[in-house]
Amino acid sequence: MLPPPDRAALLLDMDGTLLDIAPTPDSVVVAPSLLASLTALRTRLGGALAVISGRPVEQVDALLTAIPTAVSGEHGGALRPAPNAAIERPDLPTAPAAWLGVAERLVAGHRGALLERKARGFVVHYRLAPHAGLTIRAALAPLLVGRTDFVLMAAHMAWEIRPNGADKASAVRAVMARPPFAGRLPIFIGDDLTDRDAIAAAEKLGGVGLFVPDVFGDAAGVRGWLAGAATGDGWALRRAPERHR
Ligand SMILES: [Mg+2]
């Protein structure tokens, strides 16, 4: 059962949840109907609509035309807590420049591989070089040996090196501490391994965490639910969420 809209906050992952995964991060498509659903839902939820993504906040805001009241980016590494507010960043380390050099050489050596720089870390995408995935991982993993301040994380056809200390669970807690989210019950929706942290965090706060493959099938299924929920007819879920704790 979902908490009713007047008591709920909706916290959404973006890629693979709102948007179909595309060959490269830049080639995702945002349908006008999705933006219309999100705008209507923001009103229905008294503003309590947030996106929690691994992407930089600026990219989320550009793609979703700044509709979400709050955006957490970089797996909890950055937060725009309110419309037009400055981006806040928890104190976290930045990946050494030498690691970026390793990543640049890897990308140069594997046709189709793509380097995405983030404020404190980076992502090596291999969606267009699928055969190179394990080789790239094997080249990145030694960088982290003996270090607890960074983690190497699997994403959709990508490896990400990011600082330890922030994740999507801390992002859920940070968003839920602010108005208009505070006092409401979170409904978090995500599709990826890293979203399991956020699902657990939402449940711990008395809310609900929904794993896209289990509950909606895919991002099109999520968009269909959002469209119904935005009009007021379709708030209930067709399939019951599984508990992940
Ligand atoms: Mg995702």
- pLDDT digits 0-9 by tens, 42-69: 999 999 999 999 999 999 999 999 999 9
For Cα atoms 123, 129, 132, give the angle at the middle one, nearest 5 degrees: 80
Q: What is the rounded CA–CA span in Å between residue 161 and residue 152? A: 5
Instruction: State the distance from the centre of ligand 1 to the C-alpha of 13, rounded, in angstroms.
Output: 5
Domain check: are 16 and 108 in the same one? no
Q: Do residue 186 and residue 172 come from a single domain?
A: yes
Res. 245 pLDDT band, cuts 50 70 90: very low
Distance 135 CA to ligand 1 centre (A): 23
Q: How far, in Å, from the CA of 55 to the mean position of ligand 1?
A: 10
Asked whether 105 and 115 are in contact (CB, 8 A), the reply is no
SS3 114: strand
Mean pLDDT taken over the chain: 94
Does residue 142 share a domain with residue 181? no
Helix residue ranges, H only, 49-180: 57-63, 97-109, 133-140, 168-176
Q: Is the pLDDT of residue 37 over 90?
A: yes
Q: Which two tokens stand for residue 170?
A: 């801390």
Taking the centre of ligand 1 as the mean of its atom positions, its distance from the CA of residue 45, in whole angstroms, is 22
- Both tokens of 232, joined, read 């007021």
Check whether residue 83 and residue 102 sit in a common domain: no
Q: Which two tokens stand for residue 99?
A: 């690691």
Residue 242 domain-assigned? no
Q: What is the CATH number of the domain that holds 153?
A: 3.90.1070.10
Domain containing residue 173: 8-90+166-231
With a cut of 90, say whether residue 210 has pLDDT above it: yes
Mean pLDDT of 116-142: 95
**Residue 240 resides in a domain:** no
Coil, strand or helix at 101 = helix
Please identify every residue annotated as catalytic.
13
- Say yes or no: 158 and 171 in one domain: no
Q: How far is the CA of 178 from the centre of ligand 1 (A)?
A: 23
Phi and psi at residue 201, to the nearest 5°: -65, -40
Q: Give the model's pLDDT for residue 1.
A: 84
How far apart are the CA of 192 and the centre of ligand 1, in A? 5
Are residue 122 and residue 12 in the same domain, yes or no?
no
SS3 (DSSP) at 235: coil
For residue 127, is it within any domain? yes
Residue ranges near ligand 1 (ion) with Cβ within 5 Å: 13, 15-16, 191-192
Percentage of the chain lying above the pLDDT 90 cut: 87
> Has residue 106 been placed in a domain?
yes
- Residue 144 and residue 124: Cα distance in Å, rounded? 15
**What pLDDT shows up at residue 71?**
98
Does 87 have pLDDT greater than 50?
yes
Last residue of a domain, one of 136, 163, 190: 163
Does 238 fall in a domain? no
| Pair 76, 164: CB distance under 8 Å | no
**What total of structural domains would you count in the chain?**
2
Q: Are residues 84 and 25 in the same domain?
A: yes
In a domain, 237, yes or no: no
SS3 per-residue string spanning 165-199: CCCHHHHHHHHHCCCCCCCCEEEEEECCCCHHHHH
- Are residue 175 and residue 61 in the same domain, yes or no? yes
The residue ranking higher by pLDDT, 236 or 173, is 173
Within-domain flag for 193: yes
Choosing from 163, 184, 210, the residue where a domain stops is 163
